[in-house]
A and B are shown apart, each in its own frame.
With several copies, the nearest count.
Chain A
Amino acid sequence: MQHSVSVQEADFDLSAEVKALTAGNNLAGAVASFVGLVRDNNDGTGVADMTLEHYPGMTEKALDEIAIKAGERWELLGVRIIHRVGHLMPGDQIVLVVVSSPHRGNSFAACEFIMDYLKTQAPFWKKETTAEGSRWVDARVSDDEAMAKWRDQIGM
């Protein structure tokens, strides 16, 4: 399995990433993708913009480990993860996960696993600007629950 991860300020293009991951290999019948976007509302409060802080070095390491874990669990051909940092506006793309596989079930499961894992294990922190000022976003219990589901199902 090939995999690559990037932590960057620049935006990304989903089609270009899918093409790059599947180029020169016509075994991949299935490509599942996820793109996370900045919402203009969080728990009922309007969000004007957002800053993403991260732990340089550890972020890349964590994303790399997540991709490898997914490749150990499912039959995959390629994994691509991009996470943006810095200043972002509502509607902006934050995160991309693309998983190619011979079979769609594996691509879906691995893509969701990577997102759930990333949400609780990769060292990124969001700070939102709202009408009342700026605030650090609280972690969601639902993300811990999503992660716990994988631990229960596949021991990860």
Chain B
Amino acid sequence: MITVMFFAGLREAVGTSSETLALPAGVSSIAALRDHLVARGGQWQALATAKNLRAALNQDMVALDSAIKDGDEIAFFPPVTGG
């Protein structure tokens, strides 16, 4: 199983903050996971149209082409605006 999380405007767009799912067959990177989610259609298109989509893998900010495996926590979000 993997945990996928969404934050800020992206959380509002996809309508959920977190979901747990089995690592889909053939999905081995964050980018591939995004494509898998986008293929659900509807509000999930937000993951495709998001400007400057950022991602974290196990709570480290990483590039979208980073490899993922079972047990990982993956997060998608817009550029951060704290401080």
Contacts and interface: CB of A to CB of B under 8 A. Distances in A.
Contacts, number: 77
Contact of A125 (B5, B7, B60): B7
Nearest to A140: B81
A120 B54 CA distance: 11
Interface in A113-155: 115, 118-127, 136-140, 143
A83 B81 CA distance: 12
A95 B75 contact: no
Interface in B47-83: 52, 56, 59-61, 75, 77-83
Interface residues of B, number: 18
B75 A94 contact: no
Contacts of B83: 36, 83, 94-95, 104, 115, 118-119, 122, 124, 143
Interface in B17-69: 52, 56, 59-61
Contact of B75 (A52, A55, A137, A143): A55
A140 B80 CA distance: 9
Interface stretch (A17-25, A57-65, A69-77): A57-65
22 contacts: A55-B5, A55-B75, A58-B56, A58-B75, A94-B82, A95-B83, A115-B83, A118-B83, A121-B61, A121-B80, A122-B80, A123-B75, A124-B80, A124-B81, A124-B82, A125-B78, A127-B8, A136-B9, A136-B78, A136-B81, A139-B80, A143-B83
A-B pairs, top 4 by smallest CB distance, nearest first, are A124-B82, A139-B79, A125-B8, A58-B59
